[in-house]
Structure 1
Amino acid sequence: MRVWGPEVARDYDVSSAEVFAPEVLAPAVEFLARRAGGGPALELAVGTGRVALPLSARGVPVSGIELSEHMAARLREKPGADAVPVTIGDMAGATAPGCGGFRLVYLVYNTITNLLTQDAQVACFRNAARHLAPGGEFVVEVFVPPLRSLPPGESARPFHVGEHRVGVDTFDVVHQRLVSHHYAVREGRGSVFRSEHRWAWPAELDLMARLAGLEPAGRWAGWDGSPFTAESTSHVSAWRLPQR
């Protein structure tokens, strides 16, 4: 895949170091372990295993779906990877072994926005639903579109300014699209990486879940379970497949 190619996979853990920090990762793993309730879990877009590996180490049987062979290869290099089988394919349509029997399907770190059309995002919800056992849950972590922070007439907003990396989002409000621009300097060399995203408001995600046959199971401002409010910049939302 063009975006998640070998160079991005090689540097992913370093460039995303802030979400590997224990104070960020541990609450996510704890939350997901509780929602799994000891049953099997499936991570869509499992990447290099940031969440799947520690969740597996907690005793939760974890499988993954991942589009990028390069990202999956990085996962396979890590301790504990043998316990996390990965199916290569699109999270909007690929089928993992055990389909229909998962207690938890989850999608973290804004990855639902990597699907660039509403149809693809709806398909992802449907794919998650068909992997769930009755009573199982689909959990998504995603940002709230920060449009209120854009001054009138402007379409760019920095999201990270550091010593070695600067990140800027540019917004296409009409089409619910943004492009994240990452500029980094490492060992005296500069690099540029861009990724496209389609955002969706919480209410739109709720409708996607309903179309997939899921019902609301909770929404929080973060993995710590804090209340979701009008000022929240992100949310963790759960939808449940009803018991038949």
Structure 2
Amino acid sequence: MSLEFHQIDAFTQQPFAGNPAIVYRLDSWLPEARMQAIAAEHNLAETAFVLKEGAVWHIRWFTPTCEVPLCGHATLASAFALFELHGESSARLDFICQSGALSVSRDGDRLVLDFPSLPGQAITASEAIKAALNVPVVEVLDTGKELLVVVESEQQVRDCQPNFAAVAKLPWLGMIVTALGQQHDFVSRYFAPAIGIDEDPVTGSIHCSLIPYWAERLGKQEFTAFQCSARGGELFCRLEGERVKIAGHAVLVASGRLHL
């Protein structure tokens, strides 16, 4: 048995930037343990598996160590694969996942994710949070699954060197660090060692919380954002009520077959 896969860099127009994801289009679901083993073999932040039932696509995402409930860049990569490599002709793809209904639409040369808005609640910055981050903290929010930490400047976001062992012990999937941007409305980085990702290059799903936060703080609904990891990636964001729109580009970098 062999399966076709594609490796796609999301939230970039250049190969070897943005966030890479592996995409498999399946005819039937594989056992969960097999999908997890495949993700571990690829050893990227996310491997996506998509399967069509009727008019709706079902999508699941796996890190090298676990399945996650929501992933932006691998959804963008999956839509790119379906549109550009598998001949999907519709202007919009509808997905079902653990977090509910999602969609991806074409907007010129960009693809636009339609995700839920997940605003956070302000909490006190504990000593454990401060020790894990090693950067002075302005504000901390609990988004439910993620910890969102606001710092004073873009340079502090770029210079941040968290204690990964301490971050992994916190009771969240990962830690988002953000500040006002210099050339973009805001910047961020994302650390998730507890799920096998010390730092994710570009993370669409964290913008479900970043967008409502910065909308309230800046008093506007539309933004440009940059995730300033080593690879880096640009996102075009908009708040629409209880939904967020997250747009970006993608590029194919490799295709192949996995032999089972």
Give TM-score, length-normalised by structure 1.
0.32
Q: Tell me: higher relative CO, structure 1 or 2? Use CA pairs within 8 A at least 6 residues apart.
A: 2
Which is strand-richer, 1 or 2? 2
